[in-house]
Amino acid sequence: MSGNEVRELLVPNPLLYSNLKKYIWISDCAEVHKNAQILFDYFMKRNIYIDGFVTDTKSLSGLQMYHKTIYEFNVAEEENTVVFWDSYFTELNISAPVNTCSARVINPELDTSNVVIWGSGIAGGQAYDALTSAGVDVKYFVDSNKALAGGKKFGIPILAPDELGKLENKITIVEAMVRWKDVEENIQDKYRDRFYYTLRNREGCEFEEKGIFNLKNYWLFHYFQSNKVYIYGFGVHEKEMARFLGLLDFNFLGFLTDEDEPITDEIKQQYPFKCVEDILYEEDYYIWVYDIKRIVRLQELGFTYFKQYMYQRYAWDISIDRKNLLDINLAHNYRSHGKYPGIKVHGSEAEDVYKIAVLGNSTTDGNLYPFKSWPELLFEELEDITVYNCGVCGYTSAQEVIKLIRDVLRLKPDMIIVYDGTGDLNVNDKYPFTSAYVEMVYRYAAAHIDDPTDYIKGDEAEICRGIASEGSRFDNWLSNIQTMHAIASDRNIKFFSFCSPTLGSKRGRTIHEKNMLLSAISSGISRHMEEAFRKRIEQMQNLPDYMYDLSHIFDGKSNIYMDESHVWEEGNKIIAEEIKKIILPVLKESAYKKKTELGPEK
C-alpha cells in the first residue's frame, strides 16, 4: 500500500454478506427514520438485498418504505434473521435480541496498539467514541491548530504534527477531518498505517446527487408501483437500473429494443427482451429510459411522458424546451419560448385586458410538468384576462419578494396572487434570504479567484448573510407575505395570498400516501414542519383579509399527490377552482372599473 492510500475505519459487518434474511430497524423517531434511510442506501449501493424493515411502532407496522414492508418486531426473533441498525448514527433504544446488530464495525485490520486520531474537532470526537466503544485505547489527538496543541480532549493529550516524529513506537493514524485528503504530505508519506473515519461512507452511505440509483429522487419510483416495468435500451446504465429494480422488488419484465436492433445470443440468455412497439397493446406498464435519443422514438410511437415513461436525467426541466439560468438576483431562473425569463404568459397583453400576476414555487411553475398548471387552468376558467405565471421551481417567499420588486411590477398587473408556503419549509430560518445556489457560487469564487482587494481569502472567505432573523420559518414567511401585500397596496394592486397544501399536513392520508411520506428524505421532520405550518395558520387570530389557507382542500381525497408537495392536474383543477371562488367578486368589480376607466375607444 502506498503512502497516499488510506483504508476505511468503519467497514461493513460480515453478516451483511451472509445468507440470513436481512432487515433494517426503523421507528417514528425522525433521527432513527433518517438513519434507516441512509443505511438502506448503503445496502443498495453494495448490491445487498434487504427483506424489509422492522419496528416496534404500531403505526408503522404494515406500511412500506422504498417498496419494502415494515414488519412488527417479532419477525426479528425468527431463525436465520438479522436486524441491522448503524450504532455510529444512533443508539437503538429497544430491548434488542441477539440477532440484532450494527451494520458497520471497526476495521479488523486496525492495529490497536498505538492509535492516534488526526483531528480534534467534532469528527475527532466521534472517531474517539467509535474506537473507545470497541475497546480501542486512543493514545493521542493531533491537530495542526497551534492554539489547540498542548491541550487535552477527553483527557487525551493533543499534539502538534511535528511532535508525531518524537513518538518511538509504530503508530496507527486515524484521520478524522472533513477534508481528509488535505492532510499534510509528511503524514501521507511517512505513516502508511492510516485509516479514514467518517459517518458517511465514500461508497454510497449518503444521498448522492449523481448516479442511476438515487434515494433523493425516489419519488420517481412511485410510478413503478402496481405496474409492469420495462427499460428501453440495454447499455451499462440500463443494466445497472435493472439490478436496482430487482433489489427493490419491482415487477421488472425486461428490456425494450428497436426493431432489427442487434442483440447477441449471450445477452438474450441473461435478460428478457421485447420490441418497443409490442407493448403498445399492453396495459399497466411503465417505461424507464436513459438515452435521450430513444425518447424521440417513444414520442413518435405516441407514448406520453410522465404518464407512460420516465427519463432518468430528471432535474427541474421536465419539459424539453426549458433552459435553466443563473440569476444574478434570484440565484436561478429559467428561459422558455416567452420573452420574459421565468414567466409564462397566458392570454393577450393588450392594455385593456385585466392582468393577474402569480408568484410561487414548483407547485405554481408553468413550465415544469407535462400537464397544465393551476394558473393556466385558472386562465381557462376566467374570461378577458391575462395571467402571468411567475412561479419558479425552488423559490422561497424571500425570492418572491425580490421577483415582485424586480420583474412583476414592470408588468403592471391589476392583481397579484401568491401561492406558496412549501418552499419555506426547508429554508435557512436564521437567514431566509440566503440561497444555497448563490452560496455555492461564492464558495467556488473564493477558492478560484485572486482578489487583490483582499475581500476573498480562499477557504477562509467570509460570506455575509445579513442580519439573522429571530423568528421561525413561519414567521419569516408571514413577514414576506406582509411585505408583498404592502408593496401591492401602495400601488393599488389587488393582492391575495394562498397557503398551499402539502401531503405532510393532509388529514385522511391513504396507505399509498403514508408510504410516499416514509420514503421521502427527512420525512419525519418534514411532516412535523408541514403540520405545524398548517396549525399556525389555523391558530392565527384576525387572519388578514388578503390571506387564505388552502391546506385543507385535499383532505380525504385520493390520487391527488404525485409526491410530498406536488399534485397531478386533477389537483391543480381543485386549486384553480378554490382560488377562482375567492378572487371572482373582486375580479368582476375591478375588471368592470378598468373597462369603464379606459373607455370604449381604448
**Are residue 297 and residue 366 in the same domain, yes or no?**
no
Residue 601 within a domain = no
**Are residue 124 and residue 70 in the same domain, yes or no?**
no
Residue 329 within a domain = no
Residues 6 or more apart whose CB falls under 8 angstroms from that of 181 comprise none
**Are residue 454 and residue 404 in the same domain, yes or no?**
no
**CA distance linking residue 237 with residue 310, whole number of Å:** 15
**Are residue 220 and residue 360 in the same domain, yes or no?**
no
Q: Which domain CATH number covers 495?
A: 3.40.50.1110
Buried b (16+ CB within 10 A) or exposed e, 521-536: bebbbbbebbbebbeb
DSSP string, 476-501: HHHHHHHHHHHHHHHTT-EEEEEEPP
Which of the listed residues 79, 105, 131 is the one where a domain comes to its end? 105
**In DSSP terms, which residues pair with 54 in a beta bridge?**
25, 71
**Are residue 86 and residue 228 in the same domain, yes or no?**
no
**Are residue 408 and residue 556 in the same domain, yes or no?**
yes
Residue 392 within a domain = yes
**What is the C-alpha radius of gyration for the chain, rounded to an integer number of angstroms?**
28
**Are residue 411 and residue 473 in the same domain, yes or no?**
yes
**Are residue 382 and residue 508 in the same domain, yes or no?**
yes
Q: Which residues of the chain have pLDDT under 50?
A: 1-3, 201-210, 315-317, 601-602
Which of the listed residues 72, 105, 138 is the one where a domain comes to its end? 105
211: left (phi over 0), alpha (psi -120 to 50) or beta: left
Q: Given this model, what pLDDT does residue 460 score?
A: 53
**Are residue 222 and residue 360 in the same domain, yes or no?**
no
**In DSSP terms, which residues pair with 232 in a beta bridge?**
256, 289
**Three-state secondary structure of 174-185:** EECCCCHHHCCH
**Three-state secondary structure of 144-206:** CCCCCCCCEECCEEEECHHHHHHCCCCCEEEECCCCHHHCCHHHHHHCCCEEECCCCCCCCCC
Residue 321 within a domain = no
Query: Which domain covers residue 242, as residue numbers?
Result: 215-311
Q: Are 439 and 433 in contact (CB under 8 A)?
A: no
How many C-beta atoms surround the C-beta of residue 344 within 10 A? 22
Q: Give the E-state strand segments of 283-425 in sequence order.
A: 285-289, 309-311, 323-327, 331-335, 344-346, 354-360, 385-389, 415-420
Residue 576 within a domain = yes
Report the number of distinct structural domains present in the chain. Answer: 5
**Are residue 474 and residue 448 in the same domain, yes or no?**
no
Sign of the alpha-carbon dihedral angle for 143, 457, 446, 434: positive
Q: Which three cell numbers stand for residue 235?
A: 447499455
Residues 6 or more apart whose CB falls under 8 angstroms from that of 520 comprise 218, 219, 526, 563, 564
Which of the listed residues 37, 70, 105 is the one where a domain comes to its end? 105
**Three-state secondary structure of 563-596:** CCCCECHHHHHHHHHHHHHHHHHHHHHHHHHHHH
Q: Which domain CATH number covers 138?
A: 3.40.50.720
Residue 110 within a domain = no
For residue 55, the SS3 value is: strand
**Are residue 446 and residue 564 in the same domain, yes or no?**
no
Residue 334 within a domain = no
Residues shown for the chain: 602
**CA distance linking residue 359 with residue 25, whole number of Å:** 42
Distances from the Cα of 434 to the Cα of 12, 325, 399, 400, 429, angstroms: 38, 18, 9, 13, 10
**Are residue 406 and residue 544 in the same domain, yes or no?**
yes
Q: Please give the model's pTM, rounded to 2 decimal places.
A: 0.82
Q: Are 477 and 536 in contact (CB under 8 A)?
A: no
Q: Given this model, what pLDDT does residue 202 score?
A: 42
Residue with cell 441473461: 270
